[in-house]
Amino acid sequence: MSLSKSPLPPVDAGLALRDAFVDVCESSFFAYVEPCDEYRFAALAEQFSRGARADQDAGGRAGARSRLPSEWLKASVAFTGSMAVAVEVIVPEPLARWLVASITGESPEVPIAEHEVFDGLGEFANMICGAWLTNLFQRHTFDLRPPAVTRMTPDWTPLTDSGWNDERGHRLVINDLMVRLRLRSMTG
C-alpha cells in the first residue's frame, strides 16, 4: 500500500516521532528525556496523583476533586496532505509550566498565566510535529492546523487511556514527570 493511501504513516514513523521529541526537548528546552516502561510510568503516575490529591486536601478542597480542572493537558497538531494525522502530547500541568518557563527563560517559580501555558505547550507540540515531518517526509507538502491545547477530563489518567498501546505511542519522562506522545489518524 502506498503512503498516500495509508491513514497513518508506517510504524517506524512512531520511532521517528520519538526521536523528534527528544531532539526538540534537548535542543530547545534543555530537557533530558528518558524512555519509560509501563511499570515505572504507572508508579510515577500514581505518585503524581497522590501529590495532586494532597495539594487539593491542603488547600481545603478535599472532596471537590471532580469539580477541579484536570492536571493533564493535551496539545495536538493536526495536518493533512498525503495522510491526515495528528501529533498528540499529553503532560501534567507542572511539566507544561516548566517547559514554558524553560523556553522563555523565566524561573519555574514565576507564575505563568494559563493562556501562556496553553500557548507555550501548543508551540512545543508544533515544534515536535515540524521536526518530525521535516525529518521523515522531506519531499511531501502538508497543511498544518494551528495547535490545539485542552485539559483532559478531571477523571482522566494516563493509565486508563487505552489509545496509547500501539507502536506509534510512547511513554516518556522529563524531570520525573510523565509524557504521552502519539500519532492519531484523523480519518477514523
**Is the model more confident about 84 or about 63?**
84
Question: What does 157-178 look like in DSSP terms, one character per residue?
Answer: -TTT-GGG-STTEEEEEETTEE
Residue 105 lies in a domain: yes
pLDDT category, 128, cuts 50, 70, 90?
very high
The domain tally of the chain equals 1
Residue 161 lies in a domain: yes
Neighbour-count burial of 186, counting CB atoms closer than 10 A to its CB (0-12 exposed, 13-18 middle, 19+ buried): middle
The letter for the amino acid at 75 is: A
Question: What is the predicted pLDDT for the residue at 7?
Answer: 45
Domain assignment of residue 113, given as a range: 3-58+70-185
Residue 117 lies in a domain: yes
Residue 29's domain is classified under what CATH number? 3.40.1550.10
Which helix (H) or strand (E) covers residue 145, if one does?
A: none
Question: What is the predicted pLDDT for the residue at 179?
Answer: 93
- Give yes or no for residue 60 having a pLDDT over 70: no
Asked if residues 156 and 172 have their Cβ atoms less than 8 Å apart, the reply is: no
Residue 13 lies in a domain: yes
The span from the CA of 78 to the CA of 12, in Å, is: 19
**pLDDT tens-place string over residues 145-182:** 999 999 998 878 777 766 555 556 889 999 888 999 99
- Give yes or no for residue 9 having a pLDDT over 80: no
Residue 155 lies in a domain: yes
